[in-house]
Amino acid sequence: MTLPPGRTSAPRPSGGQPLPGLSGLDDRTLVAHVSEGDGRALEVLYARYGRACYSLAKRILVDEQLAQDCVQEVFLTIWRDSSRFDPTKGGFSTWLLSMTHHKAVDAVRREETQRKRRAAPDALELEESDGPAVEDEVWSTLRGERVRAALQSLPEPQRHALTLAYFGGYTQREIAGITKTPLGTVKTRMLAGMQRMKLGLDSLSRASTSSEIDDIQRGLAGGAS
Amino acid sequence: MTSPHDDHSRWSELVSGYALSALEPEDEADLLQHLTSCARCTRELVAARDVLAQLAYAAPLVEPPPGLFDRIRAEVEASSPGAFDEPVPVAPPAAPLSLDEARDRRATRRGPATRWLSVAAGVALAAVVALGAWNVSLQRDRDRQGDISAALQSAVSTLESAPGQTVPLASAKTGRVGALAVVHSDRISLVVDGMRPNDASSTTYVLWGQDGTGAPYGVAAFDVDTDGIDVIRDLALPLAGTGPKVPERLMVTQEQGRAIPASPLTPVLMAGRPA
């Protein structure tokens, strides 16, 4: 599928059709609409990022209901307080997924039983999506593969520290206990792991605006066609 | 003695841990205090969050259950009726006020009662509202407008001027009519009710015009001194070809600074369409 230039692919909202007019707007403009009280702009943002948010929340929380609650809380926060998004501190997707992660980790820490089931590092190994990569998921699938490859390229101690923290919701002290390493070593591994991930993902990390993602998407679409 | 580099390695480690939501409470408190004065760590935190936003895509993609957005929509509509183009309720009208009870301010007291020329372009800011967004907002003006308060109607009726067209300007968020624009052939007066007074040293309200689906243009800047009824008289209409032209749509924003920017940089507060 060839994406129209200058537009971000907008997956269909769950159970609905793409909203004309708004779906071509960039994230910052949509947030401005949300701040004006336009619920349809919120729906477009959900269509654009709801799946990524839900996937992350479910990965951390495991429980579907908890993941739904988390996503609901995220989007209601956007609705009620869109002014919390500061475009000078990064793109909207970064802010949104950071908030999703934070809320999911808060929830998983409240749900201790969920975490205990996932204490073993190998329980946090990242499996690929089972479903076929449909046309409008090409970008997300390719990006996921690239990110997983970057994660796999990390030394095992660094990868475990990152995945236990990011997907398991463990604190540094808890990770030190799980891995039986000093707290200082865990901190060092996390920093080193993050730095290596950043190097490996440089082109994707800079794509914090829709226009940049569009460029990458067009490049991928051109290569895939 | 600890070198500055060692000190900052400690903070960099805490930044990574904070981005991962993995800090102990005491470390988090230390870091948050440090971030208030360390631009380097703030930049590192932004970069770390960018990395982790990518890491989110390492999780298997799972389609949200159908109906999840319906739940979100229900919550939104519970607190903000009309957010999805439904009619909105309006507040009961306030007690009528005569114009003598309200402050009557001439535009000349704050500056020339003439059109302020737009600031030259070159302001390299990403537009808060793209042109497409303005056009989408057009169709919402009439859908959202509520009743006009008796206070506003009373204030306008006592204006001593030649008959003009009264244009309600309604809140984009609630539909409440917050101002009436009295439009004449060559000027507009505004009667506002309940607008938040602006800091006249650093911000200004701007009245914008828009024709069709074209880009908005600045009509005039004004200040609001009181959160009750306020009147801003005789704002000159923009000139077009043979003379003053009444815009097809009027909008109000509140902008930083004291000049009209080349285009609106903040969300529309109120809007309305002359007949």
- Tell me which of B5, B72, B143 to substitute to probe the interface with A (most A C-beta atoms closer than 10 Å): B72
Amino acid at B126: A
Contact A171 B54 (CB under 8 A): no
d(CA B247, CA B106): 22
Determine the pLDDT at residue B17: 95
Instruction: Test B64 with A71 for CB contact under 8 angstroms.
Output: yes
> Which stretches in chain A have pLDDT values below 50?
1-18, 117, 119-123, 128-136, 205, 208-211, 215-217, 219-225
Comparing CA positions, the residue from B237, B263, B267 lying closest to residue B253 is B267
CB spacing of A100 vs B56 below 8 angstroms: yes
Q: What is the pLDDT of residue A18?
A: 43
Q: Tell me the pLDDT tens digit for each residue of B154-211.
A: 666 666 455 578 888 988 667 788 888 888 877 888 888 878 888 777 788 899 888 8
Flag the least confident range among B40-49, B93-102, B169-178, B238-247. B93-102
* Band (B241; pLDDT cuts 50, 70, 90): low
Of A60, A59, A32, A63, give the one whose Cα is nearest residue A45: A32
- Please tell me if residue A70 touches chain B, with a CB cutoff of 8 Å: no
CA distances from B61 to A159, A168, B67, B138 (A): 20, 17, 18, 37
Query: For residue B237, what pLDDT band results from cuts at 50, 70 and 90?
Result: confident
Among the partner-chain residues A36, A50, A171, the one whose CB lies closest to the CB of B64 is A50
Kindly tell me the sign of the dihedral angle through the C-alpha atoms of B44, B48, B49, B50: positive
* pLDDT value of residue A157: 94
A23-80 pLDDT, tens per residue?
888 898 899 989 988 999 999 999 999 999 999 999 999 999 999 999 999 999 999 9
Contact (CB<8Å) B17/A58: no
Mean pLDDT of chain B: 73
